[in-house]
Structure 1
Amino acid sequence: MRIRRVVTTRAGGRSKPPFDSFNLGDHVGDDPEAVAANRRRLARELGLAEDRLMWMEQVHGRTVAIVDGTEEGPAEATDALVTTRPGVALVALVADCVPVLLGDPEAGVVAAVHAGRVGARVGVVPAALEAMRSVGARPDRIEALLGPAICGECYEVPKPMADDVEKHLPGSACRSRKGTPALDLRAGLWRQLADLGVGRIGVDPRCTMEDETLFSHRRSAPTGRIAAVTWMEQ
């Protein structure tokens, strides 16, 4: 099974400032017609029917939904999607949080995870891996991509917060460019995935705060959302 992974940028859409222009989030205050047009373009560019894109009502939790493409509307109060159906594309929306795309090509299972500070802390990625395992995936065969997110040098947080996240997600606490307490969620998630036996882990090094081709809530709220998408082709 061939697994596809795509990460969008903010260019090429219909949204007007401050959501310019390829905003795919329908919960940020953007014109709904512009968001709908952007989502139609995303499906078209991926070569998929619009109703084959599965969205989430992301709430920074650890709930996982297993979907087959017949569901109507976004998965409610969900931060990870899993499917075994080829041609069903799973979408995670981010603007500083970490999008995690997972796939076991041998078993034919993929997942898309929205892992912000809270979700990463409470274990949304291990929950997604467990759901994948329940439908036939094996961690040693899973390939993971940690997508664009705010980097540790930019993600300043209070020290008690950094300490708390480090307790639950070891490897995430770091120092910012200013030398203050900070978090590198991708580093913590990389270590978590490795500890859980995931065979191959890739990292998109782009920082959403630094790279103005991407949306960043911390840099310029209100703002739009980029999408990390994964699906299987037969």
Structure 2
Amino acid sequence: MSESRQRPAVRLTDFDVVRAPELDVANAARHGFFTRRGGVSTGIYAGLNVGYGSDDDRAAVAENRARAIAYMGLGDGDFVTPWQVHSPDVIVVDAPFAGERPKADGIVTRRPGLAIGVVTADCGPVLFADARNGVVGAAHSGWRGALGGVLEATIAAMESAGAERSAITAVLGPTITQPNYEVGTAMMAEFLDGDGARERFFAPGQAADKRQFDLPGFIVDRLRASGVSASFVGLCTYAEPDRFFSFRRTTHRGEPDYGRQLSAIALRD
């Protein structure tokens, strides 16, 4: 295990992290859907902001990341996240990045002790595990990513690394849910192009040109249609401001920026 910096004296607890029993199968992987609890950031980033893309103090973000990885029993050098761009692109890794992070929204590894993860603030963080064949993955899935195929691409990348589709378990972490996700009819039209059956993921909005979109429902549906076991932890990022960061809530409040929470998984050594 790498020890590129001393582990933080303050440790996160299970109270600070959302866990999914489905990913603890056979005790092959450790994981966490981290919340904003237990961090050192202040102001609008108060808590465990792990987003280097935010304007938060970089040292605070680094400390928050160190706390998250220490919770998983790893060191900073055992942890990688891609540069997320709302794409369907996926990378397979077996070591920390040597230089600039590659642009991708899915990441896969079969190396024990290497944590992989994504950061989100309303989009869907999906963690994948094939405990039988020793392959894990993570995907950042907003509606564009889900529609564009990032989930299917992550599953395919896991198969290329030795996973079996029928053995993969996927869990969607805290995500904005339908009551808080208002979209315009133009977005719905783009979404329905080529598949009118997707209208079932939209409910009437408060105005004629608005709809409420079920992002978790769509993500889980795509995962199950791909032949993997899939579930949702049932938590809304928008609805719990003391527990989660939310891009949409920040926008509604007129705040200048927002924090991000981490979702990570690693095969046990």
* TM-score normalised by L of structure 2: 0.81
Give the Cα separation in 1 of the matches to 2:50 and 2:97: 19
Letter in 1 for 2:244: L
Partners of 1:171 and 1:187 within 8 A in 2: no
Q: Does 2:218 match 1:188?
A: yes
Give the Cα separation in 2 of the matches to 1:223 and 1:176: 28
Q: Does 2:155 match 1:129?
A: yes
Query: Shift of residue 204 of structure 1?
Result: 1.0
Query: Shift of residue 70 of structure 1?
Result: 3.8
Q: Does 2:10 match 1:17?
A: no
RMSD: 1.8
Partners of 1:54 and 1:74 within 8 A in 2: no
Give the Cα separation in 1 of the matches to 2:78 and 2:204: 40
* Residue ranges of structure 1 left out of the alignment (5+ in a row): none
The 5 A counterparts of 1:68-87 are 68-73=94-99, 75-87=101-113
Cα 1:176–1:150 shift into 2, 3 Å: farther
Query: Shift of residue 37 of structure 1?
Result: 1.1
Give the alignment partner of residue 223 of structure 1, picking from 258, 265, 268. 258
Give the Cα separation in 2 of the matches to 1:12 and 1:95: 17
- Sequence identity (%): 33
Letter in 1 for 2:108: V
Bigger radius of gyration, 1 or 2? 2
Give the Cα separation in 2 of the matches to 1:76 and 1:117: 21
Aligned length: 233
Q: Does 2:236 match 1:207?
A: yes
Query: Shift of residue 162 of structure 1?
Result: 1.8
Q: Does 2:203 match 1:175?
A: yes
Cα 1:126–1:42 shift into 2, 3 Å: same
Which residue is equivalent to 1:44?
A: 70
Cα 1:188–1:216 shift into 2, 3 Å: same
SS at match of 2:30: strand
Query: Shift of residue 168 of structure 1?
Result: 6.9
> Once the two structures are superposed, what CA deviation does each residue of 1:100-121 show, in whole Å capped at 9, x if it has no partner?
1111111111000000122112
Partners of 1:68 and 1:83 within 8 A in 2: yes
* TM-score normalised by L of structure 1: 0.93
SS at match of 1:18: helix
Query: Higher mean Cα deviation, 159-168 or 138-147?
Result: 159-168
SS at match of 2:158: helix
Query: Shift of residue 72 of structure 1?
Result: 2.5
Query: Shift of residue 173 of structure 1?
Result: 2.8
Structure with the bigger percentage of helix: 2
Query: Shift of residue 194 of structure 1?
Result: 1.1
Give the Cα separation in 1 of the matches to 2:98 and 2:204: 42
Give the Cα separation in 2 of the matches to 1:168 and 1:117: 16
Give the Cα separation in 2 of the matches to 1:70 and 1:208: 29
Give the Cα separation in 2 of the matches to 1:174 and 1:55: 31
